[in-house]
Amino acid sequence: MAFKIGLLGLGTVGSGVAKILLDRQGRHPLLGEMEITRVGVRSPDKPRDVDLPQNIFTTDLEAIATDPAIDIVVELIGGTDRAYKLIMQAINHGKHVVTANKAVIARYGAEIFTAAKEKGVYVMIEAAVCGGIPVIQALKQALGANRIKSVMGIVNGTTNYILTRMHREGGDFEPILAEAQKLGYAEADPTADVDGLDAADKMAILASLAFGDRIKLEDIYCEGIRQITSTDIAFADEMGYVIKLLGIAQHTETARETALDIRVHPVMVPTSHALASIHGVTNAVRIEGEPIGELVLSGPGAGSGATASAVVADIINVVATLRANPSNINLTMGCTHQHYAKVQSIADSINLFYVRLVVLNQPGVIGAIGTCFGQHKVSLESIVQKHIHDGMASIAVITQKCQESNFRNALKEIGELNAIDSIPTVIRLLAA
């Protein structure tokens, strides 16, 4: 008897899933035990490049989520509210759910996984983070023996594509974003990607699995890449760094037991670092655990086939588990977190900084900047003056590790000095 699948959404990822399920040759034998029974779409009569019988299409998505004949609901419509309601409906009707929807899981994970636990069903989310990279399964299962120390990654392909092009071409953010939109690499509304919100959704999910607590999205400090200029890229390049948008989740150095440091922001990454060589739309996640040490998973973070690969892997896992033991939940596939993580404020975090200042080219400016930082307990690694013209100079400062609030207080005071024209960029930095 085949397991019956109800597919909600037949767009980029939905079509990829249907294509895999309709073309089983050479793939996992369990695909032979699955059948797409109903498909929820907006326009049933629209011509499509997947060979599904017309009579299984419907615009009534609720009917699929509540259909007693369906075993697994695969939610691929995107968005938040409607998708959340459909997922909850499916769970409440005793169906297992597979979704690629990071926005829903990051916002409503607590409600969804609580309901799933009560109903004894699986909610599988491999495709929600980094598309085709099996990072969810790694954290839930393969790395289960480890105490995870940190999870750090390039989890948004759009921003990595833009930053890679800025590095390669020396171009500025806006024109490269416009071209990325024309080429289909960036959405017409790029906000979620370029402002770091998509990465924050993904980090909430990864950190929750890595550290065993729920994460409130609003607790994640989030900064995007709009302020990065070609000048900063050139400075970074000269100093042996590349600028990447990173998601970071780690235990704090000072109060390891009590707080989680979780954020998304641009970082100057030394060219020798594993994440520095991740280019274009590729994603990568570096996980550090005890006893395993460090490992990096990299690959396609989006796209029809890559994301569908993760969705179908989840379906296979559900089917395999149901075949082996239909009545007991496999604990390595579920999510049982009860408490919310205590998250460290960005002001308390410890960072190294790169800061670029535009100043009047006059004696004593560098000394005054150094003094201000010193008065706020910020030690400097280097301070270099460049690009002198029209009586103005650009100064690039790199600090040693310092508390973010001390750095910000120093910077506020420096900004008030007469010789300071502007402070266009501040970027946190990874130690070389």
Ligand X SMILES: NC(=O)c1ccc[n+]([C@@H]2O[C@H](COP(=O)([O-])OP(=O)(O)OC[C@H]3O[C@@H](n4cnc5c(N)ncnc54)[C@H](O)[C@@H]3O)[C@@H](O)[C@H]2O)c1
Strands 350-360 and 402-403: antiparallel
Q: How many whole angstroms separate alpha carbon 238 and alpha carbon 170?
A: 12
Please say whether the beta carbons of 219 and 197 come within 8 A. Answer: no
Residue 301 contacts ligand HSE per CB under 6 A: yes
Please say whether the beta carbons of 282 and 297 come within 8 A. Answer: no
Which of 4, 140, 202, 244 is catalytic? The answer is 202
Please say whether the beta carbons of 249 and 211 come within 8 A. Answer: yes
In the complex, least distance from residue 308 CB atom to ligand X, rounded to whole angstroms: 9
CB under 5 to 8 A by kind: which of ligand X, ligand HSE, none does 303 bind? ligand X
DSSP-derived letter for residue 395 is E
CB under 5 to 8 A by kind: which of ligand HSE, ligand X, none does 157 bind? ligand HSE
Q: Which 3 state secondary structure label does DSSP give 95? A: coil
Among 17, 20, 37, 40, binds ligand X (CB under 6 A): 40
Residue 12 contacts ligand X per CB under 6 A: yes
Question: How many other CB atoms sit within 10 Å of the CB of residue 29?
Answer: 8
CB under 5 to 8 A by kind: which of ligand HSE, ligand X, none does 20 bind? none
CB under 5 to 8 A by kind: which of ligand X, ligand HSE, none does 41 bind? ligand X
CB under 5 to 8 A by kind: which of ligand X, ligand HSE, none does 156 bind? ligand HSE
Among 4, 5, 57, 78, binds ligand X (CB under 6 A): 78
Report in angstroms the alpha-carbon separations of 245 from 157, 163, 357, 428. Answer: 10, 8, 22, 11
Among 61, 275, 278, 346, binds ligand X (CB under 6 A): 61
Please say whether the beta carbons of 124 and 317 come within 8 A. Answer: yes
Q: Assess whether 244 carries a catalytic annotation.
A: no
Q: How many whole angstroms separate alpha carbon 97 and alpha carbon 99?
A: 6
Q: Which is nearer to ligand X, 79 or 94 (CB)?
A: 79
Q: Which is nearer to ligand X, 311 or 366 (CB)?
A: 311
Q: How many whole angstroms separate alpha carbon 331 and alpha carbon 339?
A: 18
Among 6, 7, 9, 137, binds ligand X (CB under 6 A): 9
Return residues touching ligand X (CB under 6 A): 9-14, 40-42, 61, 76-78, 82, 100-102, 127, 131, 302-303, 307
Which sequence positions are flagged as catalytic? 202
Return residues touching ligand HSE (CB under 6 A): 156-158, 193, 198, 301-302
